[in-house]
Amino acid sequence: MKVRVHVSLKPGVLDPQGRAIHHSLEGLGFSGVNDVRAGRLFELDVAESVTDEAIDDMCRKLLANMVIENYRIEKVAA
């Protein structure tokens, strides 16, 4: 089973990397970009026996830092 975990900074947490990327996009001449937030994507290949609770636990214990980040789990059809 393929699982994607999207990790993003919580609203309100400063994202200097996103800001730098935003700045760079503007430098390339792309207009109309209001904001950029950088995040992270994990693709996990897990056994069918792995429960949703276990995946949630993986996110909370390691993949995301709950102080500053949110996560979203997406199951991908094979």
Partner 1 sequence: MAFTSAVITFPGSNCDRDMAVALEKVSGTAPHRVWHGDSELPEGLDFIAVPGGFSYGDYLRCGAIASRSPIMQAVIAAADKGVPVLGVCNGFQVLTESGLLPGALLRNAGLNFVCREVGLEVVNAQSLFTNAYEAGQVVRIPVAHHDGNYFADDETLNRLEGEGRVAFRYAEEVNGSARSIAGVLNDAGNVLGMMPHPERAIETTHGGTDGRGLFESAIRGLVGA
Q: How many CB atoms lie within 10 A of CB 19?
A: 14
* Contact letters for partner 1, residues 45-74 (x by CB under 8 A): ----------------xxx-x-xx------
Residue 24 or 72 with smaller CB distance to partner 1 = 24
Residue 2 main-chain phi, psi, to 5 deg: -100, 135
**Least distance to partner 1, CB of residue 17, Å:** 6
Q: Using alpha carbons, select from 47, 38, 40, 29 the residue that is nearest to residue 62.
A: 40
Q: Which residues bind partner 1 (CB under 8 A)?
A: 13-14, 16-17, 20, 61-63, 65, 67-68
